């Protein structure tokens, strides 16, 4: 069965079995500027891995998903003031964020990487970045790492509202490189015409101090009931094949990781 058809069949089954029970609305915050995880289609509708996983989780939990779009740096504040009930927007599970929110188990994993002009050499200690301008998404884990570790190496860290803005300045030569999620960089830049003269440089960056323990769904502090529901639903999606079918729509590898 094709992945798209399989997803549709499974989702239909969920909606029919839970039609009467799905009267609870779950407001989920998302940033629709992070393809392939979340983005807007040409018709203005949301799409992406995060969006599809979220809808599948809601169907499994028999609740109605209401997606609330936010700028990335406004997601956690919106959760804290109850504008949303959860955040499903590729948030890394870090100790710093755990001070403000609670997390579910990881629903995927990735590493951070640098992208620069093909042939650039920075070294395993990143000392070759001295004097370079590196773009990051504001308020991201990559911003935090760059601020703490790269500025002391003589790097000028330039912050942007979205990763797409970074790409434009990188292509225009206003930046020397960017630091971001390796899956995002590969799927939305390096494999596109805009990124044909660029490549990954330096090591994979995975220090849990900055990059956390995978990507999770954020809920308000103490909301163990909701995080528990998400965790159980995720296990069920993994067991019944829905997760794998969604994965196959966007990636040619298992983004869930080890």
The fraction of the chain above a pLDDT of 90, given in percent, is: 88
Residues 39 and 82 in one domain: yes
Average pLDDT, whole number, for the chain? 92
Residues 87 and 123 in one domain: no
Domain annotation covers residue 256: no
Same domain, yes or no: 181 and 239: no
Contact 50, 38 (CB under 8 A): yes
| Tally of domains within the chain | 2
Structure tokens at 214: 């995978």
136/218 same-domain check: no
Q: Residue 113 burial by CB count (10 A; 0-12/13-18/19+): exposed, middle or buried? A: buried
- Does one domain contain both 34 and 116? no
Residue 219 parent element (H or E)? strand 215-220
Q: Do 155 and 61 fall into the same domain?
A: no
Q: How confident is the model at residue 17 (pLDDT cuts 50, 70, 90)?
A: very low
For residue 157, pLDDT beyond 90: yes
Q: Is residue 40 part of a domain?
A: yes
- Within a domain: residue 255? no
Residue 139 belongs to some domain of the structure: yes
Average pLDDT over residues 58-77: 96
Confidence band of 14 (pLDDT split at 50, 70, 90): very low
- pLDDT over 90 at 18, yes or no: no
Over residues 100-154, the pLDDT tens digits come to 999 999 999 999 999 999 999 999 999 999 999 999 999 999 999 999 999 999 9
Would 204 be classed as within a structural domain? yes
- Assess whether 98 and 141 both reside in one domain: no
pLDDT band at 21 (very low <50, low <70, confident <90, very high): very low
Across the beta sheet with 198-205, what order do the strands follow?
156-160, 133-137, 177-181, 112-117, 198-205
173: domain CATH number? 3.40.190.10
Check pLDDT > 60 for residue 12. Answer: no
Cβ atoms of residues 240 and 57 within 8 Å? no
- Please tell me whether residues 82 and 134 are part of one structural domain: no
The alpha helices in the chain, defined as continuous H runs, are 3-17, 49-61, 75-80, 95-98, 141-145, 163-171, 182-185, 208-211, 224-240, 242-250
Which residues neighbour 212 within 8 Å (Cβ) at sequence distance 6 or greater? 92, 93, 94, 95, 97, 141
The reply to whether 49 and 132 lie within a common domain is: no
Bridge partners of residue 39, in order along the sequence: 47
Q: What is the pLDDT of residue 16?
A: 37
Q: What 3-state class would DSSP assign to 229?
A: helix
Residues spanned by the domain of 133: 112-210
Q: Both 125 and 62 in a single domain?
A: no
């Amino acid at each position: 069965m094709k992945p798209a058809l399989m997803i549709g069949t499974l989702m239909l089954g969920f909606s029919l079995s839970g039609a009467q029970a799905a009267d609870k609305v779950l407001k989920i915050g998302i940033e629709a500027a992070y393809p392939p995880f979340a983005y807007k289609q040409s018709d203005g509708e949301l799409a992406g891995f995060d969006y599809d996983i979220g809808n599948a989780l809601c169907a499994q939990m028999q609740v109605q998903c209401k997606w609330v779009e936010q700028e990335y740096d406004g997601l956690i504040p919106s959760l804290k003031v109850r504008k949303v009930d959860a955040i499903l927007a590729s948030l890394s599970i870090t100790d710093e964020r755990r001070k403000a929110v609670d997390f579910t188990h990881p629903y995927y994993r990735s590493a951070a990487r640098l992208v620069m002009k093909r042939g650039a050499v920075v070294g395993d200690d990143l000392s070759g970045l001295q004097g370079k301008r590196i773009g990051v998404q504001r308020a991201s884990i990559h911003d935090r790492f760059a601020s703490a570790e790269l500025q002391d190496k003589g790097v000028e860290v330039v912050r942007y509202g979205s990763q797409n803005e970074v790409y434009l300045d990188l292509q225009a030569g206003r930046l020397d490189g960017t630091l971001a999620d390796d899956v995002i960089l590969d799927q939305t830049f390096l494999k596109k015409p805009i990124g044909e003269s660029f490549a990954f440089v330096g090591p994979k960056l995975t220090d849990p101090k900055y990059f956390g323990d995978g990507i999770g769904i954020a809920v308000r502090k103490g909301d163990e009931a909701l995080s528990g529901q998400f965790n159980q639903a995720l296990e069920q999606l993994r067991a019944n094949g829905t997760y794998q079918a969604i994965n196959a729509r966007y990636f040619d590898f298992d983004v869930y990781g080890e």
